[in-house]
């Protein structure tokens, strides 16, 4: 499975996530949302994978969001998409997705969900053996 990472160049969390993916040999494709805005299909896919909808992906503490002074709950998907196209820094970053999972932001423990299950099982068995030998 290939992970898609929606990143921002100036974001340290995006850089950490990209480094983590490289270090763990996880196949990924990067899309910088500030230079290549999301398509409507990508936006809908991300939104459909969230548990908390827009609350999960909108950076309400960003200057772009504060300056707009809008109530996103009153917007249609099309209206929100148009605003995000014009102000991509409103999105939290990075956003990592594959066919089954989404992660918003960088969290060193949570990002491990993108390691294939077989590899995680192998690592767990190896750690268990080491613990038993000690």
pLDDT tens digits along 15-47:
999 999 999 999 999 999 999 999 999 999 999
Phi and psi at 106, nearest 5°, equal -105, 125
- How sure is the predictor about 122, in pLDDT bands with cuts at 50, 70 and 90? low
Strands 28-32 and 95-97: unpaired
Count of domains forming the chain: 1
Residues 76-118 have pLDDT tens digits of: 999 999 999 999 999 999 999 999 999 999 998 899 889 877 7
Residues in contact with 17: Cβ distance below 8 Å, sequence separation at least 6, in sequence order: 5, 7, 94, 96, 106, 111
Which residue in the list 5, 11, 18, 104 is annotated as catalytic? 11
Alpha helices in 7-134 (DSSP H): 12-23, 40-49, 54-57, 63-68, 77-86, 117-133
Structural domain boundaries enclosing 121:
1-131
CATH number for the domain that contains residue 119: 3.40.30.10
User: Mean pLDDT, the chain, as a whole number?
Assistant: 91
- Per the annotation, the verdict on 11 as an active-site residue is yes
């Amino acid at each position: 499975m290939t992970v898609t990472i929606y990143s921002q160049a100036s974001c340290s969390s995006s850089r950490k996530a990209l480094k983590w993916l490289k270090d763990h040999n996880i196949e990924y494709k990067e899309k910088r949302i500030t230079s290549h805005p999301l398509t409507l299909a990508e936006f809908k896919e991300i939104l459909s994978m969230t548990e908390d909808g827009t609350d999960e992906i909108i950076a309400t503490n960003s200057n772009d969001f504060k300056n707009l002074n809008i109530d996103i709950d009153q917007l249609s998907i099309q209206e929100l998409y148009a605003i995000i196209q014009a102000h991509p820094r409103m999105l939290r970053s990075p956003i990592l997705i594959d066919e089954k999972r989404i992660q918003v932001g960088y969290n060193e423990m949570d990002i491990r969900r993108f390691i294939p299950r077989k590899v995680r099982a192998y690592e767990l068995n190896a750690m268990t053996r080491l613990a038993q030998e000690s």
